[in-house]
Amino acid sequence: EEVLDQGAHLVEVSDWPEADLQLGQVSGLALNSNGDLIIFHRGDHIWGINSFNLNGIYQQKDLGPIQQSTIMVVDPVKGKVLKASGRNMFYMPHGITTDKDDNYWVTDVALHQVFKLSSDGKDRQLLVLGEAFEPGSDKKHFCQPTDVAVDPVTGNVYVSDGYCNSRILKFSPEGKYISHWGAGSSDRKRRASFLIPHSLTFLPDKQELCVADRDHGRIQCFMADTGEFVKEIKKEQFGGEVFAIAYSPVQGGLIYAVNGVPRDGQVAPLQGFAISYSSKEILDSFSPDAQEFKLPHDIVVTADGNVFVGDAASDSVMKFEPSQKQHQQPL
């Protein structure tokens, strides 16, 4: 179907950021309650074909943790660095999210752990889930966990686990295991099956959790409370891979997504999408005008409709802002 010609079209803000942010592979993006952009990146560590063995065991432990600041707080208007932290803690950063108290929740796919960190610049570990460097699939182990989402009302914590487990786990605010669905869940009602649950976003106005089911090239949404399946959004334009999603409660709910290149070759252009949650229609698609997307890896949307995309291959973050289509240059 055509991209519906209504409302705004997202265009790249080509002069953002003003300064070079000295980023490594950008794996995760988040926003804090002040609207600042939080960037989670890998400094000089690179996820390559030799980073893990076939059992998901990290092979480069002897490199030690990343020395650079892996957590950058950046102002959304100019792209200036406001705060930098996260040194000497991580081996292979992946997902980052904030909770209603502005704590950071991050995943590290080499440590196979989830951390709740203070955002005062001291990175105090307020909660740690999983066992360092020990992959597993029980209630106390993850295998390359990819992302975290936190329900702002209940404080419940959802973890997408991950490259080598294909399940979603639900924990209490204090980190007590509650339930899980996807692989390994016996509960018939929750017969979900994921192929790299890669990104999570919480829908606060619907009390739902949506998952980027990456290699199935689809978005699946569930009741956050029960894990019950609600809906699936799968589009030809995704080309078989959905890497990341974000949500804005405007216009009845908009889901933003970025796609990726499937293992057996590119079948669709790399781009971002704005999708109506209710109609599942693609309302807008967007991509950078100067450089192409290479590995769009995470996406966030601000309260005023600006979108940031982190790219894990071009080591960059790109900003997009809504511009009314009507004022576009005539073709």
Nearest of 183, 202, 185 to residue 193 by alpha carbon: 183
Q: Is 107 in the site for ligand HH3 (CB under 6 A)?
A: no
Q: What is each CA distance from 145 to 16, 134, 245, 257, in whole angstroms?
A: 30, 12, 16, 19
Q: Is 312 left (phi over 0), alpha (psi -120 to 50) or beta?
A: alpha
Q: Which of the ranges 45-53, 134-142, 154-162, 218-226 carries the binding residues for ligand HH3, by CB under 6 A?
A: 45-53
Q: What is each CA distance from 56 to 165, 214, 252, 258, in whole angstroms?
A: 10, 18, 40, 25
Kindly report the number of other CB atoms within 10 A of residue 206's CB atom: 17
Q: Which of the ranges 1-9, 41-49, 54-62, 115-123 carries the binding residues for ligand HH3, by CB under 6 A?
A: 41-49
CA distance 195 to 260: 14
Q: By C-beta, is 27 or 285 nearer to ligand HH3?
A: 27
Q: By C-beta, is 182 or 260 nearer to ligand HH3?
A: 260
Q: By C-beta, is 49 or 290 nearer to ligand HH3?
A: 49
Residues 267-326, interacting with ligand HH3 (CB under 6 A): 312
**Widest CA span in the chain:** 58
Residues 47-76, interacting with ligand HH3 (CB under 6 A): 47-49
Q: Is 166 in the site for ligand HH3 (CB under 6 A)?
A: no
Q: Is 27 in the site for ligand HH3 (CB under 6 A)?
A: yes
Decide the pairing of beta strands 316-324 and 307-311. Answer: antiparallel
Q: What is each CA distance from 86 to 63, 118, 124, 142, 144, in whole angstroms?
A: 16, 11, 10, 21, 19
Q: By C-beta, is 9 or 94 nearer to ligand HH3?
A: 94
Residue type, 279: S
- When CB distances to ligand HH3 are compared, the closest residue is 47
Q: Which of the ranges 31-39, 42-50, 170-178, 284-292 carries the binding residues for ligand HH3, by CB under 6 A?
A: 42-50
Q: By C-beta, is 27 or 160 nearer to ligand HH3?
A: 27
Q: Is 113 in the site for ligand HH3 (CB under 6 A)?
A: no
Q: Which of the ranges 6-14, 44-52, 122-130, 173-181 carries the binding residues for ligand HH3, by CB under 6 A?
A: 44-52
Give the tokens for residue 117.
């960190």
Q: By C-beta, is 48 or 184 nearer to ligand HH3?
A: 48
Which residues would be at the binding site for ligand HH3 (CB under 6 A)?
25, 27, 47-49, 94, 312
